[in-house]
Amino acid sequence: MYRTESGDDVFIVDSHIHFWDASPENWKDEKHAEGWINCFYDYHANLSPDEHTWTLEEYRNPTDERMVADLFETGHVDKAVLQPTYLKEFYHKGFNTVEQQAYLLEKYPGKFILNGRFDPRDGAEGLARFRDEIDQYQFQGAKLYTAEWRGDSKGWKLSDPEARPFFDLCVERGVKNIHLHKGPTIWPLTLDAFDVTDVDVVATEYRDELNFIVEHCGLPRIEDFCWIATQEPNVYAGLSVVAPFIHAKPYYFAEVLSEVLWWVGEDRMMWASDYALWEPGWLIEKFWDYQLPQEILDKTGLDQITEEAKRKILGLNAAKLYDIPVPVAA
């Protein structure tokens, strides 16, 4: 719960976090495993305030104690959604898999929601494994990574026919919140394989059945994202990676936030830190105090962002999607 200066409580759901292991012992393809975490670290160091910048050593392999303190003690977060990223071609155990993160549910009861994942290139075997994992963990959501490498393949599309049985299984088992990394490239993966336009196909197809949370709003293809999202009521804007620009590049942040507010609106926006990319505490404090610049209001015709909108974005919208009970005072 974030306690504001005027003494109000704000309910916070961090809708996109990771608990990863990028320590050298876990590097399988050394060049790409090291390059990957170095690229994450560049995002972290370039967009964080100095006092919230870690060392590369700390960053490679955070402890669960540190994560829990950063999220729930100093970070104001009430509930956090763990989003897996596999990358088994780069890391022996994977980067942050369902298995690596699952113990957190028991060790810290009530704090985390664990999402699953699938990759249609795994075929029937992958489908069976995903079904077993749904039974075991009762996923409410999944995180998909369309730019992941697999042998010669450098990515897949949500609209591929091979993906259909997986989405159908999600519908059948109530795995209703599909988070998509769309936009920002992470070395060595490519921007094109993270292109946002395939969301349009599945969002229409599963309009009444699945929610698609487009993480990072498709940046830099914000315009494509907005034009798709405005027509698809089941498409949401995930503000992970957008959020830290509030500090490092504030005018850019204002432009992106105002575009998303104008096209998609405050009822379909979800804040996230993308921990350990960035710590949630400073992001939340800055966002709560945030006002859109007058120049942007004049240009867009938007009204100033309200506290009510911020409450929805910081927690209430995600609480609805994940059926998280919200204390009355929040």
Question: Which residues here bind Zn ion, judged by CB under 5 A?
Answer: 274
Residue number with CB closer to Zn ion (101 or 258): 101
The DSSP secondary-structure symbol of 82 reads: E
Residue number, 222 or 296, with CB nearest to Zn ion: 222
Q: How far is the CB of 219 from Zn ion (least distance, A)?
A: 13
Q: Which of 72, 80, 7 is nearest to 319 (CA)?
A: 80
Residue sitting closest to Zn ion (CB): 274
CB of 145 to Zn ion, least distance (A): 9
In whole angstroms, the minimum distance from the beta carbon of 291 to Zn ion comes to 27
Nearer to Zn ion, 198 or 274 (CB): 274
Q: Least distance in Å: CB of 83 to Zn ion?
A: 6
Cα→Cα distances 80→125, 271, 273, Å: 30, 11, 10
Name the DSSP letter for residue 91: B
Cβ within 8 Å of residue 15, ≥6 positions away: 81, 179, 213, 238, 240, 270, 271, 272, 318
Token couple for 35: 């390059």
From CA 196, how far away is CA 218, in angstroms rounded?
6
User: Is residue 52 packed enough to be buried (19+ CB in 10 Å), middle (13-18) or exposed (0-12)?
Assistant: middle
Query: From the CB of 177, what's the least distance to Zn ion, in Å?
Result: 15
CB-wise, 292 or 321, nearer to Zn ion?
321
Alpha-carbon distance of 245 to 281, in angstroms, equals 15
Residue with tokens 């042998």: 151
Nearest approach, Cβ of 16 to Zn ion (angstroms)? 5
| Cβ-based nearer residue to Zn ion, 220 or 265 | 220
Nearer to Zn ion, 133 or 274 (CB): 274
